[in-house]
Amino acid sequence: MSNPHSASARVVNFVMMNPNKRGPVELQLAEMARLWSAGGGEFVCYFIAAPPPWYAALLAEAGAEVGVLEGVVDQGSWNRAVAAAAAVEKPALAHFHFGRHDTAAQLVQSGAVVIRTEHSERKRERGEPLRRLARHRRQRHLHSFIAVSDYLAAQTRRDYLVSAARVKRIHNGADLEHFRPRPEAERRELRQRLLGISDDRVVITQAAFLDARKRQDLLIRAMPELLATGRPAHLVLAGGGTQEAALRSLISELGVQDRVSLLSGDNDIAALYAASDVGALLTDREGLGGSAIEAMACGLPLVASDRGGLREVPEVGVSGVLVDHDVPAQTIGALGWLIDDAELRHRMGSAALIRARAHFDQRRAAAQTVQRYHEVLTDGHSHSVHRD
């Protein structure tokens, strides 16, 4: 076991995800590895699939070791794979991301400090009070929780029945060097090359998984009314997922094929945002909204659902608009407002860029997480991180 008070403490991240995209979690882990390694510590990341070459190289350059949890298909296999890896790694600190982590008790008993990050909003279910008690029982050994939004911090306190002292809010951030506005000439070249657009239509882009939770269908359904009023709108939906066929069918059914681009596969999201005029994120549940932050970092005004942690992303009326997407007129009205007024788009987009840089920098998020490591390693039983 590493000495938890040593600068060379071994930190092991267990991440229940396939690291196949340039997302906030993937990039923040690399930045955390760089910071921890620079201080003399050891930083390890375990995923449920091997990272692609570009990401493996990024982690290696940052000083991280990488492992793969083989054969993870359900909660039981995850628990067994984590227990086996932890027995080999003997971490001073174990940091869990996504999923349930029923091995926490074993790790605490072995002397490790254990942290869990809450990334996602949970769907409310029947029998919730009993579920909360069950979650608390499983997770009572954890020394600290990190929540990526104030909304999730409140959810964590409520659902795990833990004190505020054990929950640290650290907003996820964007890679502000990658997600950035582009000069006008480059922007027009990107519109032509990526979207085949050479005119002045207003491009609205949502980059997110194509699943039932992300409500791309509502943006598609807004298009006929926007176009019927003569507005030069063009919708871009970037991502892959289970709803792709259904969304393509809806686009065809509504006859908006020439005004909706559905881009599956591997897309340069930063370039797509740079080619766009408005960012969008309609979703039923959201822990924070990484793609919304990335759109704002590219200087786009945001139209987003008034849900979950998304409420913390734009400054309403200044850098974006929040809508009740169950009321179609609100989405159509917000989009129409921005389409009609180029000066408003510019003003709100500038405010969005300022807000993203001030509040959602992944380097700041990584530094705050590493600081939390130091706090819990210094005294995992202090009043600031005590277990209830």
Question: How far apart are the C-alpha atoms of 116 and 100, rounded to whole Å?
Answer: 10
For helices 24-38 and 53-62, the axis angle rounded to 10 degrees is 30
Structure tokens at 303: 């139209």
Q: Could you report the average pLDDT of every consecutive run of 10 residues in the chain (388 residues)?
A: 61 89 88 96 96 95 96 89 93 87 77 91 71 70 92 92 94 96 97 96 97 95 97 96 96 98 91 98 95 98 98 98 97 98 98 98 97 88 48
The pLDDT of residue 126: 66
pLDDT value of residue 4:
47
pLDDT for position 1: 45
pTM to 2 decimals? 0.90
Q: What are phi and psi of 162, to 5 degrees?
A: -120, 160
274 close to 293: Cβ distance less than 8 angstroms: no
Provide the pLDDT for residue 100. Answer: 67
* pLDDT at 75 (0 to 100): 85
Q: What is the pLDDT of residue 227?
A: 98
Alpha helix (H) ranges present in the chain?
24-38, 53-62, 75-89, 104-109, 128-139, 150-160, 184-190, 216-228, 244-254, 269-274, 290-297, 328-340, 342-359, 362-378
In the chain, the domains with their CATH numbers are 10-173+362-378 (3.40.50.2000), 184-359 (3.40.50.2000)
**pLDDT for 71:** 92
Amino acid (one-letter) located at 353: L
- Looking at residue 323, its amino acid is V
